[in-house]
Structure 1
Amino acid sequence: MTLWPDLGELMRFDVSPLELVLRGSLVYWFLFLLLRFVLRRDAGSIGIPDLLLLVIVADASQNAMAGGYQSVSEGCVLVATLVGWNWLLDWGSFRFKAVRKLVEPPPLVLVRRGRMIRRNMRREFVTVPELMASLRTHGIDKLADVKIARMEPDGAISVIREEHAEDGAGDEGDEERRAPI
């Protein structure tokens, strides 16, 4: 028994590198499209169920990508394919508006002129308490003080104040606008 592994055995290909690239590409694009159109929030605001889903999906998709690879070389080709697609999408979204539209969802209006857009909030599962907490982090405690609040492509909520917000005007009718979804 030897202490050193057989390097030739570790580096040999049992599966064609082209097949690994094709498998990796197909699974990458399937997962990308699934996550792009199902999950909106970015990793900075990802919850435990989302993280668990990603771990399970990664484990389940490993065999689909790998096709039962046995060597380090095959694993490296597969990882390089996935990293390559990720880099290519980042580069393409920086250079081309059409790619950016595919990669990043457009901003979604949650509040306009002090009124919640409940349909958009339901679509992204944003509750009234979550929205109000986000407004408070921007120094706003009343919906009437919001000109527009948007969920950005990264899942963060950006807010633009109404012009009258500094002078305290616009308090009437605020309670009506805070009704739950």
Structure 2
Amino acid sequence: MSTLHSLFALSIPLLEIFVRGSATYIALLAMMRVIGRREAGGLGITDVLLVVLVAQAAAVGLHGQASSVTDGAVLVGTILFWSVVFDALAYRWPRIGRLIKSEPRLLIRNGEYNLQVLRRELMTREEVQSQLRLHGVDDPAEVERAYIEPNGLISIVRRDHGEPDEPGRPDVTL
């Protein structure tokens, strides 16, 4: 029975778990907000590796000497708590929301690239053109507006206001 008790008993103080979880969540949120949207969209193998490494590096700061299931549950609860709090703040107060959450950025207007946004997002014209092709657009001149969205994906409004293809799903008829 003592083994079962040690499995669920807090091994470090509750306040320490909460403070560690809070500090780590807020620090990672700030860092992810600074790196830009491009890193958020569609994960490739190197992106998954990066996420795993960041999680592993953050784990030391998160759990300290924690060893029980309850410690982990409190930590997960703390992270979920802050996630909900920041979402609620962003919803309730739009000014705070602009600090916490990204807004779409205009990549193309009337067929012309916004070079300032391309530089900020570390994107080349070729990378944007690749994304345009995924939407069934061959020439940037066909684009009235294209945005990089907060999730890292690119959305397009065509000049003819036709519907672009859905990314990753080419219009193929057999």
Q: Per the shorter chain, which TM-score range?
A: 0.7 to 0.9
Q: Does 1:104 align with 2:105?
A: no
Residues 100-140 of structure 1 deviation map (CA, whole Å, 9 limit, x = unaligned): 21232122111122111223213213232321122233332
- Unmatched segments (≥5 aa) in structure 2: 163-174
Give the length in aligned residue pairs: 162
SS of the residue 1:150 aligns to: strand
Question: Alignment partner for residue 19 of structure 1, among 16, 19, 25?
Answer: 16
CA distance in 2, matches of 1:131, 1:6: 57
Kindly name which structure, 1 or 2, has the bigger radius of gyration based on alpha carbons: 1
Opposite residue 134 of structure 2, the aligned amino acid is T
Structure 2 equivalent of residue 59 of structure 1: 56
Structure 1: 4+ residue segments shifted above 4 A: none
Secondary structure of the equivalent of 1:154?
coil
Q: Determine which of 43, 65, 81 is the counterpart of 1:84.
A: 81
1:172 match: none
Alignment partner of 2:38 out of 35, 38, 41: 41
Amino acid at match of 2:76: V
- Aligned residue number for residue 31 of structure 1: 28
- 1:115-130 matched pairs, under 5 angstroms: 115-130=112-127
Partner SS, residue 155 of structure 1: coil
Structure 1 segments unaligned to the other structure (5+ residues): 167-181
% same residue: 36
- Alignment match, 2:171: none
Residue 43 of structure 1 and its aligned partner are, at CA, apart by 4.8
What TM-score comes out, normalization by structure 1 length? 0.78
Is the contact between residue 7 and residue 68 of structure 2 (CA under 8 Å) also seen in structure 1? yes
SS of 2:144's partner is strand
TM-score by structure 2 length?
Answer: 0.81
